[in-house]
Structure formats: C-alpha cells, structure tokens
Amino acid sequence: MKVNRRRGKVYLVGAGPGDIGLLTVRGLRCLQKADVVVYDFHLNAQILNYIKKEAEFVYAGKRGGHHEMTQDEINNTLVEKALEGKIVCRLKGGDPFVFGRGGEEAQVLAREGIEFEVVPGISSAIAVPAYAGIPLTHREYASSFVVLPGNEASTKEESSIDWRFLAAQKGTIVFLMAVKNIGQVTQRLIEYGKPADTPVAVIRWGTRADQRTVVSTLSEVPEAVANHVIRPPAVVVIGDVVRLRAQLNWYERKPLFGQRILITRPYKEEYEPLESLGAEIIEFPTIEVVPPESYRDLDRAIDNINSYDWIVFTSANGVRFFFRRYFELERDVRDLKGIKICAVGSSTASSVREYGIKVDLVPESFRAEGLIDAFGGMDSVKGLRILLPRADVAREVFPERIRQLGGMIDVPVTYRAVRPERHAKRLQRFLKEGRITIATFTSGATFTNLCEMLGDDVIELLRDVTIVAIGPVTKKEIEKRGLQVKIMPGKATIADMVDAITKHFTSND
C-alpha cells in the first residue's frame, strides 16, 4: 500500500432513513467533496448521484444479516483510504451513532490518528413513525420514549434489556431491527406486565414510496406481521401514541403515494410537484450531454455570426453549449445585435433569456412547415440566412425544407448526446420486483439507450409500468417495440409532462 504523507480525513455521515429530502445539507456537502464513498444497502441510491463522477464507490452491503464486507474490513478500508491522503465519506443509513456502529468506526480512526468528523443523520427511530402519522410524544399520550435494538436474542437468560422496567413504562417504545424477533419481543413485554391490548405499529421502508404500515396490538402483532409479509427493514412502535395514526396519517394519504417514477434525464426542479404529491423519483439518466468532438463548424459559424438573419435554438442544451463556446471565443452579446432569435418551446426560450437576450419567436413545436409559417411563409424564406446550433444526431426535415425554398442554413454540431456508462443492476431489480410504477422518456434516445443498458428483457420489465413519452417521435419509438404509451403531454416540456402525470393519477374519472 502506498502511503501518502498527507493524511486524509473521514466523514461519518448519516444519510437519513430513506427519503432523499431528509439528507442534511452538511451531509450533502461532505458527499460532494469525497474521493471515496463507503456506503451501506439501506440507503436511497439517489443520494449516490450527488457524488462526483471520479470518486471511488465501495459497497459495504449489510442487508438482512448478509454483509458484503465484515466490520473489520470496513474499518480497514476507512483507514487505508485516509492514509492514501483521500477524503473519505462513510455513508450510513439513519444516524451513524444510533445502532449504526459509527462509534466503533470512530474509535478505530482515533486510534490511528486519522482526522474525522461525525455528521448526524435523521434516525429512522424518529422519522419513520412521523411519516406514519405517529408522534413519539404527545401531552395526552406519552411524555417520553425509548429506542432499543430488537435484534438481540431476547430469549437469552441475561438480556441487556430490563424487560420489567420497560414493560412498566408509560411512554412510547421504539424497536429497530425487531421484525425477525417480534414474537419474542412482544411475549417478553406481556410476561412482565405490559397490557396485551397495547397498540403497536410496524412500519416497513418508512419514508419511502413503498412504505407499509400495519397496526395491531401487542398480543396479535406477530400474526399480523406474518399475514402481511412484513420483512426488514421495519420500525416497531409500541404505545398509546399509535392511536393517533388514524387522525395524523399524512404521508400515505398523498395522492401520488406509492408511485415510484423513473426519469431517464437528469433531475430538474420541474419534477418537484410529483414529490410534493408523494411520489418518489428514481433518477437514471440514459443520456449524457457532452461537447462536440470538434468545434470546427461551430467556431466558423460564430466567427461569421453577423452574416445570419436568424439563430434557431431547439433545446436548452443547444442554448447552453452554444453560449459556452461563444464566450470561450471571447465574443460579446452585442455582436448579436440585429439577429433575430427563435427558441422552440418555452423552456428553451427561458434558457435564452437567462443570457439577457430577447427572444423574437417562440413556436411550441419543431415542425418544418409550422416554423416556416412563423418566419412569414414560404415566400419570406428565400434569401434568409439561418444558424441552427444542434445535436450531432438530428432530423434533417427543417434544414432541407429551408434549402428547397431558397434559404441558407448552417447546422453546426454544438453538443452530443451519448449513452453514459452506468451500472443498471439496481434498476433491473426494482423493475423485476415491481417497484417502478411509472417510466418517463423525453426522447427516442432515452428509451433506446435504456433498452441497451438493461438488455433483452427490458420490454418485459416495462410491460406493467405506466409509460410516459414526450412527443410523437418518442411515442412511436417506444410503441414499435410493443409497449403502450399511456401518457403523452400536449406540449413537449417537462412541466407539461409532470402536469399530465398528476392529472392521470389524481383524476376522479
């Protein structure tokens, strides 16, 4: 092992119980600067999208008693990576110091003289009951609560839990990791005097789209757990506060609760309304937008920018990459004086306006005849010089029509849409388990790239998923593979797609 003279640093970060919105700002900042991330199974994998691409990912496992790495191996990894001079983020579900063995990891780092920080996370002991509508304390029901591990062998003669004291408590009892031992736990409490009719709630995958809550009593909850096939991870809440769930159950009543939506482009703020209605977003971009292989044609167009009558932008990416190169060549926006700007769609127009540039024409769709009419008709096109900065793969209908009518048009490649190198195993597992309910595609390429990434069985995996497509070209690409597009917004924007999904699932019709 090559040891760097400059020692690194380890951040022990709590990622929260599942809802990505419960990751702290401090935790996010530590993730974004990490060179190495050592992470567990019980995380919202969307968090990993915030880690810089060049970072090293180390999967530590820890799922249902099966460990991909032993605790000693995890400790050694943290030490080795830090000694290499790297910033290490140990990413743990919930809070690192609440039954997370974060204290043990911190001790190892302290003994080795490695600098570390602890970033607390929101514990499932608190967050999961809250998402099930169960306050742990309430003036009329409970003034205290206690949190215990439920995976202890509770039938052993010398338990570390004082069951007599616990059974006598009037407050709320929270067990983590107790599902497998639920029978022993409830039996012990009843044996030491806890009333058999004490309310109990068992919440699986709390704060997630597939959250499931079973309410029962102390004597009947083992049978209820078996009947509803409740498996780990789950939180068990015991006490009178469980009665408040009937009134305070806010999360599971959201109109899109239970919907897990696959988006095949990078996340944008336009998706937030879906999350506010209870849906969970799974971000799995199948397209990565990168610069062109050569700037030769674009540079030539920019050098002769004053020769054009119109610049036509068909996407926000076209706007972004055009102006990035424009300013890299030290051009001034004042050089665009006298040139009219056409932006296809409101989103593209907004991107242009961010540069302080007025948009002269905003057609809603990129159709050749419609654009020609917008320019003033066929007779007005003759002699026009048009610049169309675009992707490397694009339809030729509009440029060919312009040339047929006597106009001149340059179409320099301004950006490329490529298929990213990503592991798709988790997404495949979610699809096989029926945990993806909606899949969205904003172009034919987002769909075909997903097919290539998932392999031959992708069509069957998507068969029972509600398919959403932006635009007729995308819809055609999907349906020729034998799938049905159930939702297509009237306008080709993310905002309109979000609105169409919302209406589809919240309509009373």
- Residues labelled as active-site residues: 40, 62, 177
Instruction: Check if the beta carbon of residue 82 is closer than 8 Å to that of residue 9.
Output: yes
β 413-418/288-290 pair status? antiparallel
Provide the 3-class DSSP secondary structure of residue 41. Answer: coil
Whose CA is closest to 301, among 416, 395, 409, 415? 409
Instruction: Check if the beta carbon of residue 204 is closer than 8 Å to that of residue 233.
Output: yes
**What is the C-alpha to C-alpha distance for residues 451 and 463, in angstroms, rounded to an integer?**
13
Whose CA is closest to 16, among 121, 117, 114, 91? 121
Instruction: Check if the beta carbon of residue 293 is closer than 8 Å to that of residue 315.
Output: no
Provide the 3-class DSSP secondary structure of residue 385. Answer: strand
**What is the C-alpha to C-alpha distance for residues 333 and 357, in angstroms, rounded to an integer?**
8
Amino acid letter, 163: W
Name the strand (E) or helix (H) holding 202.
strand 199-204
Residue 403 structure tokens = 């040339």
Whose CA is closest to 240, among 192, 197, 205, 293? 197
The residue length of the chain stands at 509
